[in-house]
Chains A and B, each alone.
Chain A
Amino acid sequence: MTVKTDKSEVQSTWDGVVADWSADKETFAMPWGKLMMWIFLLGDTFIFGVFLIGYMAARMAAVEPWPDTEAIFTMTMFGHEFPLLLIAIMTFILITSSGTMAMAVNYGYRGDKRKAVMFMGLTALFGATFLGMQVFEWYQLIVHYDIRPWGNPHGASQFGAVFFMITGFHGMHVLGGVILLIVMARRVHRGLYDKKGYAVVEITGLYWHFVDLVWVFIFAFFYLL
C-alpha cells in the first residue's frame, strides 16, 4: 500500500476526493475546528429535519383545520393590512446579517482585525434585532390572536405547539449565535488569534449561515404554506 500524501498533484475533482480520503495525518486540509463545526451542523440539520418532519406529521394528523396563516401573520399599519410584512422584514434582516458575516470572514482572512470585529458586531446587532422582532411576533400571537401551545381559537391546536416549539428552538440558535459572535468578536479584538489565524471567524460564520439557512426553511413551511 503506497501512501499518496502530495495533494498538489491533484488533477480532477475525483482525484481530489481520492487524495483527501487516502491521505495520512488528516482527511481534509482544514483546521480541526472547522471540520468539527461542519459535522456539528450536519447533526443539527438532522435535528431541524426531524422537527420539520414532525411538524408535517402533526399537521397531517390534526383533526381540526389548520389556521389560515396569511390571516394570522398580517400586520395592520396605517389602516392597511399587510400580510407577512413583519416576517418579510425579519427574513430580510437575517439574510442581510449573513452578508455582513461574510464580510467579517473576508476581512478576518485579510488580517484587517478592526473591520472584522466591526462586521461581527454588526452581524450580532442584526441577530439581536431579529430576536427582538420575534419576541414582538410571539407577543402578537399570544396576546392578540390568543394562540397558545395547547390550543388556539383559529383551528388545530398543533399549530401553536409546532410554531412555538420550532421558532423557539430556532430563536435559541440565533441567541446562541449572537452570544458566540460577541464573545468571538471580543477575543479577536483582544488579539488572541493574531498568531493562530482567523479561522475562528469563519467557523463562527459557518454556524451563523446555517442558522440563516434553517430560517429559510422555517419561513417557507410556516408562513408560505
Chain B
Amino acid sequence: MTHVPIADLPMDDHHPTSFAAKYVWSQDHKVIAIQYATIAIFVGVVALILSAFMRLQLGFPDTFSFINPNTYLQYMTMHGMIMVVYMLTALLLGGFGNYLIPLMVGARDMAFPYLNMLSVWFYFVSVLILLASFFVTGGPTGAGWTLYPPQTILPGTPGNEWGIILMILSLAVFIVAFTMGGLNYVTTVMQARTHGMTLMRMPLTIWGIFIASWMGLLAFPALLVSAIMMAMDLLLGTSFFMPTLVSLGNSVDHSGGSPLLFQHLFWFFGHPEVYIVALPAFGMVSDVLATHARKNIFGYRMMVWAIVIIGALSFLVWGHHMYVSGMNLPFGFFFATATLIIAVPTALKVYNWTLTLWQGNIKLTSPMLFAIGFIFTFVHGGLTGLFLGNVIVDVPLADTMFVVAHFHMVMGVSTVMVIFAAIYHWYPLITGRMMHEGMAKIHFWTTFLGSYAVFLPMHYLGFMGVPRRYFAMGDTAFMPESTHALNASITVFALILIAFQSVFIINLIWTLKYGRKAGKNPWGATSLEWQTPDVPPAHGNWGAKLPVVHRWAYDYSVPNATQDFIPQTVPQGDMMEKSSDGPAEGTETTEGKPS
C-alpha cells in the first residue's frame, strides 16, 4: 500500500453539528486553541492578583492582616508556578500553537485531533487540581516555585500536608496534557504542510512554536521524573532528595538522599522551559514586526538557525541556576561559558528585529507598539542576564531583587508583551472583528511604562542587597530608609499596572460585540492564515482545496509589485508591474493559481 501525504488526502466532509461536539468536546484546533487560551488567561489573572497581594505586603508591611508569612510564601509559589507553566506555556503553545500551526502551514487540522482534544481537557483537570490546593487543609505549598527539597517536604513549610501533593499531581497531569499537545504540534509541522510549504518557507512563528514543542517534549521528562521521586519521598518515605537532618528538633526518617539531585533535574527542565516560553514569542514578534513595518524580516535563515541553536544550547546551561548551591569551579566555568554563548544567537535576533524596522514603512498599530515594546524590555532583561550568567557576579546578586527584576523583565514582561501583540494582531482573524485601537493604546502605554516603573527600581533594590522571597525586611542596617520608600512606590505602580489590565479584558469582550468588522486580511499580511476563504476560518480551514504556496512568508514592499505585500499563495511573477524584468528567479508553473 503506497503512502499518501496528508496534504494529498481528500477532504473529510464530516462536520460536527451538535453544540457539544462543536464547542465543548471539539476536535477543531481553533476551538481547542480558544479553550486553552481562555483557561490560561483565567489562571493568569489569578496569578496576577496573587502578585498584587505580595506587592501589598512588601510595599506596606504590617498593614494587611490577611497576609502572614505562610500565606505570603504560598502566594509567591503559586504566582510563579501558574505564570510560568499554566499561563505562559499553555497560552503560547496550547493557545497560539493550536490556532496558528494548521493555519500557517496550510493544514485542515492537527495530525491527531482527538489527542488534541484530550490535551486541552487534561490541561483543564491539571488547573482544577492546582486551584483545589487553595481549599485543602494547610493550603497550597509555599516552598517557592522551584519546590526545592528538603524544604518542600519538611514540616513548617506551609502546604506540606496536601498542597505539595496536589502541586505534584497537577504538574504530572499537565505534563501528560503537554505531551499530547506537543506531539501534535511537532508532527503537524513535519507531516501536514500544504503544497509548496517547505520548512524554509514557514513563518518564524511556526519555527518558534515547532522548536519550543520539541524542547518541551525533551525537557518535561526531567520534571516528571523529579515529581515522581518527590512524591515517593513524600508518600512512601524514600530518600531520593532527603538527607539525614534534624527538623524542628526531630531527626527525620530519611537518610542518604541528595537535595542537589532535585536541583539538577528541576533546572534541566527549568532552563529549557524559559526558552519554551521565549521561542514562540520570538517567532510571533518577528511576524508582527515584519507585517506592521511592511518589510521582509531581516535575515530569515539566520533567524531560523538562531531559534534552533538557542533551543539546543538551552539544554546545556541549567547549572547557571545553581552557582550558589555549591559547584565545582570547572563546572561553573562551563555553565557560564555556555550561558554567555546563548547571547550570540539571541543578540543576532535582536539586531535582525531592529534591522527589520530600519527604513520600514512602520505603522504604529497596537500590535506594533507591543512588538517594539518587547524589543526594549527584552534587550533590557537580556543584558541583566549577562550579569547573572557570570559566576562571580551572580554570587552576590543571587536571591536578591535583581534576579526578580531580571527574569520578570526577560520572560515575564517581554513574553507578555508579545502575547498582547499577538492577540491584537490575530484577534481580527479569530473573531472577525478589529479590537478598539484607543483602548489598546491606553493598555500599551500603561503596561509598558508601568512595567518599567515596577521592575527598573527592583534592579537597584537588588544591588542594595534586598533579598527576594522575604516576607518583610524589617529594619536592617545595610538597607537605607529609601529602600522602603522604593518598595512602596513599586507597589503603587504595580497596582496601577494590574488595574489597567482590565482595559485589555474589557477590550476583548467589547470587540466581540461592537468591534469594527475586520474583513479579510486587515493588516495586509502575506502568511497563509490570512488567506482563508472565510474569516474567521471555518471548520476544515480551506474549503474544498488546500492552498498552494509559491513563496516565503515575507514578501513585503517588493519592488515593482502592484501592492506592498504579496501573499504566499501568489505564484512567482504574478502581481508584478508589466514593466518589471519579468518573473523572479525560481519560476514555477502557475497551475493551482488561487482565484
Q: Which of A59-67, A76-84, A87-95, A125-133 contacts B (4 or more CB under 8 A)?
A: A59-67
Is there a chain A Cβ closer than 8 Å to B380's Cβ?
no
Q: Kindly state whether residue A54 has any CB partner on chain B within 8 Å.
A: yes
Contacts of B240 in A (CB 8 A): 54, 58, 158, 161
Whether B238 contacts A32 by the Cβ 8 Å rule is no
Tell me if B221 counts as interface (CB < 8 A to partner A). yes
Q: Count the B residues whose beta carbon is within 8 Å of the partner chain — how many?
A: 57
A26 to B199, CA, bound (A): 9
**A40 interface residue (CB < 8 Å to B):** yes
* Chain A residues within 8 Å of chain B by Cβ, number: 46
A22-B199, A24-B193 known; A57 vs B238 contact (CB < 8 Å): no
Set A22, A26, A47, A54: member contacting B190, Cβ < 8 A: A26
In the complex, are the beta carbons of A21 and B199 less than 8 A apart? yes
Whether A51 sits at the interface, judged by CB under 8 Å, is: yes
Instruction: Tell me the residues in window 3-51 of chain A with beta carbons closer than 8 Å to chain B beta carbons.
Output: 3, 21-33, 35-36, 39-40, 42-44, 46-47, 49-51
The reply to whether B193 and A61 contact each other, CB–CB distance below 8 Å, is no
Query: Contact: B586 with A2, CB < 8 Å?
Result: yes
* Segment at the interface with B among A139-147, A149-157, A176-184, A207-215: A149-157
A147 CB, min distance to chain B CBs, angstroms: 12
Contacts of A220 in B (CB 8 A): none
Q: Which residues of A contact B7 (CB under 8 A)?
A: 24-26
Residues of A within 8 A of B187 (CB): 32, 35-36, 39
- Evaluate whether A54 and B229 lie within 8 angstroms (CB atoms) in the complex, with A26-B6, A32-B191, A157-B238 already known: yes
B326 CB to closest chain A CB, in angstroms? 14
Q: Which residues of A lie under 8 Å from residue B253 when comparing CB positions? A: 150
- In angstroms, Cα B186 to Cα A42, docked, is 13
Residue B15, interface by CB 8 Å: no
Residues in A with CB closer than 8 Å to B1 are 197-198
Query: How far, in angstroms, from A170 to B129 measured CA to CA in the complex?
Result: 26
Residues in A neighbouring B337, C-beta threshold 8 A? none
Contact A43 B3 (CB under 8 A): no
The smallest C-beta distance from B330 to any residue of chain A, in angstroms, reads: 18
Residue from the set A29, A51, A157 with the largest chain B CB neighbour count within 10 Å: A157
> Does A225 make an interface contact (CB < 8 A)?
no
Chain A residues with CB under 8 Å of B479's CB are none
A85 at the binding interface (Cβ < 8 Å):
no
Instruction: Give which listed residue, B222, B549, B551, contacts A24 with CB less than 8 A.
Output: B549
A135 within 8 A of B: no
Asked whether A42 and B239 contact (CB < 8 A) given A3-B196, A27-B199, the answer is no
In this assembly, does A165 line the interface, its C-beta being within 8 Å of a C-beta of chain B? yes
A62 touches B196 (CB 8 A): no
23 of the cross-chain contacts (CB-CB < 8 Å) are: A1-B201, A1-B552, A2-B588, A3-B196, A3-B588, A21-B199, A22-B200, A24-B193, A24-B198, A24-B201, A24-B549, A25-B193, A27-B191, A27-B199, A29-B5, A35-B191, A40-B183, A43-B179, A46-B217, A46-B218, A61-B258, A149-B232, A160-B238
Q: A1-B551, A54-B226, A157-B238 are known contacts; what are 15 more A-B pairs with Cβ within 8 Å?
A: A1-B201, A25-B194, A26-B5, A28-B190, A29-B5, A32-B187, A43-B217, A43-B218, A46-B218, A49-B221, A150-B239, A156-B256, A158-B239, A161-B232, A161-B239
Point out residues on A near B: beta carbons under 8 Å: 1-3, 21-33, 35-36, 39-40, 42-44, 46-47, 49-51, 54, 57-58, 61-64, 149-150, 156-158, 160-161, 165, 169, 197-198
Query: Which B residues lie at the A interface, using CB under 8 A?
Result: 1, 3, 5-8, 111-112, 179, 183-184, 186-188, 190-201, 217-218, 220-222, 224-226, 228-229, 232, 236-240, 244, 253, 255-258, 261, 264-265, 268, 549, 551-552, 586, 588
In the A-B complex, the 6 residue pairs with the smallest Cβ-Cβ separation, listed nearest first, are A161-B238, A197-B1, A150-B237, A46-B221, A61-B258, A47-B221
